[in-house]
Amino acid sequence: MNRWTTKNKTDLLKTPVFSLSKLTCSLERRAIEHDFYVLQTADWINIVAITTDGRFIMVRQHRLGTDEITWETPAGMIDRHESPERAAVRELEEETGYRAKKIIPLKKLAANPAIMSNYIHFYLAIDCEPAGPQRLDETEDIDIVLMDRDELGANIQNGSIDHSIALLAVSLYFLSPYAGQPPAYYPPA
């Protein structure tokens, strides 16, 4: 297994959310050259947030990529010079108005290493309580939905929740040692 060597990089598009580059690369072992296209964007965070009474905080919003209303876990982009944990705290409060007593990292994964440069940082937010109104970005219109474990499972099973990253976040939670544990089980803040 050899790595591709980048011979030339051409920036094709730059937006406030992402940039697109064309990489002309060679694979010497096979004597081939090929163009690849890579999206560069900030890292993201995604939060499985659970209220003090054990309900999952989900959000609903219109997504233009699929032109559908989606059910998701709170999420967002990490601002420049911001830690992933700080971004998780900020996005949870902005999108939902809830504040967590404890934020626990679950996993860091590559978003799509074939064509994207960024990572997704998954967090668990426990003992969440209302802390004020939503502080939405200008282009956000988000409804908050609280679901117990059975409702969450039913909405996954019936396809109402079909956002792949939200499903991955919930799966990471249920695969973690924290799933179903009382608050005393969690590590100290």
Whether 138 is catalytic? yes
Question: 9 and 21 in contact (C-beta within 8 Å)?
Answer: yes
Residue 127 parent element (H or E): strand 119-130
- Name the 3-class secondary structure at 163: coil
Count of other CB atoms within 10 angstroms of residue 77? 15
Residue 123's DSSP bridge partners are 47, 105
User: Choosing from 28, 68, 85, 138, which is the catalytic residue?
Assistant: 138
Question: 129 and 53 in contact (C-beta within 8 Å)?
Answer: no
Count of other CB atoms within 10 angstroms of residue 23? 16
Question: 185 and 178 in contact (C-beta within 8 Å)?
Answer: yes
Give me the active site residues, please.
138
